[in-house]
Structure 1
């Protein structure tokens, strides 16, 4: 049964309140494995200064310099060398109710990723050598086509680990072999085309960053007093070379120009990143033209480095920028391919750290905590949201142990290395809760305009935008379901305002869970039915469809490291240098000497293959793990309507994918856009929207 607090039978009121008090705890002491207590803490457990001072990391959350969402408090002791940091241990507390309690995967996920981080990857590094490079594109594809030879002693150490044996598919002949990613299943070279490069910005694994260009030249939002003038150096003349007869002004007025802009995200960190031994990167801006056939054509890529000055010579006072135009042959053709790679390295890192980790995993945890501390299991909104929290705290705890921790998997295989999560803190400063609603996000990025006559209240600027087209249907289905459900229990705005559990939930989610942004004026006040429906819809959307869109395409696209490199290791060579001559004589080698090396690629592929898989007992959007999740027949009927609507959407997506005129739904790589199909089977399916962030 569900009851609003004011309608709770008198006999249950005491127990309802006591249960919430027990779940809140008193905020002290070390949490034990059997505890069910939910509380907040900052991210002060990513570093390991007691082991090595190079493994110290800043505390994220609780300061203007490093704002961050809160995570679950564990109460572990502090490190000896930093009294404000918490020790990193082999296990981390999550409330007992959040532990994997179903068939899935505590064994598969936790043991698999931990073993990768702590045992197998160091062995691979020893076997392959950290500095080993790919010699050719065929060599890079050998991960799937021929396999990688492994020493006998390495095989013998992997073999006892059943999870890893399954993942690595060693066949008894000491060969490590991955499944071929979708991006090369039809064509081995489609990834190199400009059309595929542009298509993946709206139908790839990170399709929600591209913006419409409405001001020229592109501007920077970085503070000039701190970073100097960061305005783009791209000229109208360089764009109009390939603008198909249009002027820049005409193209902007006709909504024809778009930009993938990572300049401001990377420029403040480039001095530190490029000071590392293995990372050499640019801050990139990529401008694209929307062609008449609906595809995007890259026109120019700007590669920028910090211009340093000031009394000590280490202050950023501007940018040194190079503008690269499309070319197909000779050194210029290789430089263009490299320029695209630098842009994709920016995109790969932003995707993993911001679009994926920060904007889904990290921002959701405060809502999980606040819900359990303030909304009784008898509360209808608890019933609504609970399926969308399953496994999230557990998987986030695992991430802090093995993925985003100092020296962890992300730092091993992505460009920013030790500055990775620090970069996501900088991005969190610009996170806006209401803008996580898909229509609001599209409008903010200039990819849609408000249009009351359109089905979802917005009209797309790019008609063939697979993520947006499919996503708007899913968003509308979610919001309609939430509206139908909420209306069963609240008849007026006044009832929302008087629901003290609901008000406590929202106040705590904002003021404690997202404490560093609590004073932002954009937070909903939770005073109306509309605010409750919209906020709940954003939570459901973020946990389900948004996470699916940025997660389950990781291996299909990124499994080919040539297509989505995660590291760049040298700058474009100077003319007349030996390295420059290599651009002409051996362009593949020049490209491979710049991007991710073998060991880093092995780390990346192994992890994203795990992250891109569905477990056998996954519960998808429109499903519940318990058919008797409520005794309210009205809610059951509304939920059935939701499931039927999702099935209709799935059929329409599949039909759109077969429409040849929608070129962005397949592209040169012949990959249908399937990641927002609601249903899926187990495994590496490139489709399916789980209810929650469970991987």
Structure 2
């Protein structure tokens, strides 16, 4: 008896998602296959955002529907164009509706087999056809997504050298527009600095800088411009600027820091001392030791310089964090004085300038690129190679991998390549950035990637006005609660975790390829308990969404007034006090073109993604399951309430902290 299947096909909503090409479908069940059927409703079938229903008939029922096969062929003489298929649903003769999520691009002559949405672990598979499909999918993915050595001593990355070589399934939906926008010419034009890009001369005076950067201001950058020399703002941005990662509580004076109680007595006041304030938990340290011995480059014919400072800060009685001592080199010597706020104004300002330069370099290399972009790529490659699309953890994590490959390929080419903006316009260049990342990678730990552990280890639990901590810990908890609800739906015991061989392959590959098998990192080599799995997935989602946003979104705000965050310095660190004047500052700051080129980088990296998917939003329904949809809605409600709370709080702040507002956080590393 003839069986009738009602098939509904949904084309994606993004630009150019539709196609004129021919699309064919085959239904595959436990009792056979349908004929290869062309989907044609005698009109334009696959327009952007369109849902169209079709009928597929078979001579007999296929029984349990296992797979659907999609094929795409060029239509006559029309130029071939990729098609984005969102979802296919099939109503069976038995009146069951089965969903087959796709959410991917298809190129000409490509064949895709889709499984139904129901998440399935490998040990739950009943049908040999589906086991074979699972194995074939991973085999193909391991051929397609291969590991490649980016730099020896750093996490491995995907083996795609250029963006055109990326598979269509992982490319931007707005490839050409984004590729065009991600270059210095476009950036300099949009921030009205193009005319300065060829001026390889020093700045004449501060007023010239002000006029040049006037058109690029934001509310926060204007505040930075007015207060960058203030000590309390210097301390504030180490907590709430785009790089809140270097500060830690200091419980004893470093042996290589020549600061003494006597030096600081006039600064701290007669009733206390450095020793006492360290005991009371009010002294903090930023140590930039990783910058020692990094190579520096020549820019515009001038050798560039860096320092490797130690900066001591004090939380005073009203809760302000103030710098109180700066030593610009790591080894105590006669030519390495300790600079103090009681020194002459220009000496102290110059010392802070070298700290801000060191902080800029650490931010870009050790944290923004290494710990968000590179790790995001590690998690993405391992996911695609080891977990099939039907796996529950794949369904949970795949939205958080969106565009990761392409943005990283662009960064490696346009920013860190031999002619890249970062390579050409920072004091340490591409070679130094890689060396700095390698040093940072040797110190990277699992605990430092888990925000609650990191805050505790750095002794920052109680420091006031630390909005990165306040917002970040709330987000960590919300993400953790959401992950727990989903994971426990599929893993009801520790045994379920231990028996999932694909899951164990995933974490093992992350440990070996991403963290180079270094046991010292503390990264799990396997999962034993459900709680271990929940914590690790929480860390992955937090890293690629919230942490990436905290390190990315404020770069233009805090660095477009470049004296606050100089990328390069033209003079070596001072070896004596009392020899600085206004000309010293101008002679030390980077040249005009170096400054504006790096400002264009900060503008590029701070941009809002043109098709932002905020944290917690899952427009692509991979689970197609009411219980998971309910969990998502609860998660979204928590994040929405948090967004409103942050906006209310920020109304009361002179400098609002917006970088962890959920509705402004990308779900993935996509910009």
TM-score bin, normalised by smaller chain: 0.7 to 0.9
Correspondence 1:199 to 2:225? no
In structure 2, what is the equivalent of residue 443 of structure 1?
456
In structure 1, what is the equivalent of residue 282 of structure 2?
256
Correspondence 1:690 to 2:671? no
In structure 2, what is the equivalent of residue 368 of structure 1?
380
Alignment partner for residue 328 of structure 2, among 291, 303, 306?
Answer: 303
Distance across 1 between alignment mates of 2:325 and 2:206: 25
In structure 2, what is the equivalent of residue 19 of structure 1?
137
Distance across 2 between alignment mates of 1:142 and 1:232: 39
Alignment partner for residue 181 of structure 1, among 197, 201, 218?
Answer: 218
In structure 2, what is the equivalent of residue 168 of structure 1?
none
Correspondence 1:243 to 2:268? yes
- Post-superposition Cα deviations, 1:471-498, rounded to whole Å, max 9, x if no partner, equal 1101110111100110111100000000
Alignment partner for residue 40 of structure 1, among 142, 147, 150?
Answer: 147
- Contact 1:270/1:281 (<8 A) preserved: no
Of Structure 1 and Structure 2, the greater strand share is in: 2
Correspondence 1:323 to 2:338? yes
C-alpha displacement at 1:319, in angstroms? 9.2
Name the SS of the counterpart of 1:515 in structure 2.
Answer: coil
Correspondence 1:651 to 2:644? yes
Name the SS of the counterpart of 2:228 in structure 1.
Answer: helix
- Contact 2:373/2:408 (<8 A) preserved: yes
Correspondence 1:140 to 2:209? yes
Alignment partner for residue 390 of structure 2, among 378, 384, 389?
Answer: 378
Counting only pairs closer than 5 Å after superposition, residues 498-517 of structure 1 correspond to structure 2 as 498-515=499-516, 517=518
C-alpha displacement at 1:387, in angstroms? 1.0
Counting only pairs closer than 5 Å after superposition, residues 625-664 of structure 1 correspond to structure 2 as 625-626=619-620, 628-659=621-652
Correspondence 1:97 to 2:169? yes
Correspondence 1:602 to 2:583? no
C-alpha displacement at 1:576, in angstroms? 11
C-alpha displacement at 1:305, in angstroms? 6.5
Correspondence 1:426 to 2:439? yes
Name the SS of the counterpart of 2:329 in structure 1.
Answer: strand
Distance across 2 between alignment mates of 1:393 and 1:106: 12
- Post-superposition Cα deviations, 1:357-412, rounded to whole Å, max 9, x if no partner, equal 00100122121111101111101100111111111111111111111122311112
C-alpha displacement at 1:4, in angstroms? 1.4
Alignment partner for residue 7 of structure 1, among 111, 120, 124?
Answer: 124
In structure 2, what is the equivalent of residue 479 of structure 1?
480
- Post-superposition Cα deviations, 1:521-579, rounded to whole Å, max 9, x if no partner, equal 553531110110000000000000000000000001111112211111113567799xx
Correspondence 1:590 to 2:567? no
Distance across 2 between alignment mates of 1:137 and 1:68: 40
C-alpha displacement at 1:643, in angstroms? 0.6
User: Matched residue pairs, number?
Assistant: 550
Counting only pairs closer than 5 Å after superposition, residues 221-240 of structure 1 correspond to structure 2 as 231-240=256-265
Counting only pairs closer than 5 Å after superposition, residues 394-405 of structure 1 correspond to structure 2 as 394-405=406-417
- Post-superposition Cα deviations, 1:72-97, rounded to whole Å, max 9, x if no partner, equal 124x7xxxxxxxxxxxx6x5633332
In 2 relative to 1, CA 518–241 (structure 1 residues): closer, same or farther, beyond 3 Å? Answer: same
Correspondence 1:530 to 2:526? no
Name the SS of the counterpart of 1:562 in structure 2.
Answer: helix
Distance across 1 between alignment mates of 2:499 and 2:406: 33
Alignment partner for residue 676 of structure 1, among 636, 660, 664?
Answer: 660
Distance across 2 between alignment mates of 1:621 and 1:257: 35
Using the size of structure 1 for normalisation, the TM-score is 0.74
- Contact 1:181/1:557 (<8 A) preserved: no
- Contact 1:70/1:366 (<8 A) preserved: yes
C-alpha displacement at 1:233, in angstroms? 1.5
C-alpha displacement at 1:42, in angstroms? 0.3
Q: Which has the larger radius of gyration?
A: 2
C-alpha displacement at 1:187, in angstroms? 7.3
Name the SS of the counterpart of 1:621 in structure 2.
Answer: coil
Distance across 2 between alignment mates of 1:127 and 1:630: 51
Distance across 1 between alignment mates of 2:525 and 2:363: 27
Alignment partner for residue 68 of structure 1, among 134, 140, 154?
Answer: 154
In structure 2, what is the equivalent of residue 287 of structure 1?
312
In 2 relative to 1, CA 522–607 (structure 1 residues): closer, same or farther, beyond 3 Å? Answer: closer
- Contact 1:569/1:596 (<8 A) preserved: yes
- Post-superposition Cα deviations, 1:644-688, rounded to whole Å, max 9, x if no partner, equal 1111222222333344xxxxxx4xxx3211111111xxxxxxxx1
C-alpha displacement at 1:125, in angstroms? 9.6
Q: Which has the bigger relative contact order, CA under 8 A and spacing at least 6?
A: 1
In structure 1, what is the equivalent of residue 418 of structure 2?
406
Using the size of structure 2 for normalisation, the TM-score is 0.77
Counting only pairs closer than 5 Å after superposition, residues 556-575 of structure 1 correspond to structure 2 as 556-571=557-572
C-alpha displacement at 1:8, in angstroms? 2.9
RMSD: 2.8
Distance across 2 between alignment mates of 1:496 and 1:576: 62
- Contact 1:271/1:306 (<8 A) preserved: no
- Post-superposition Cα deviations, 1:561-613, rounded to whole Å, max 9, x if no partner, equal 12211111113567799xx4xx44xx2x3312211221011111112112111
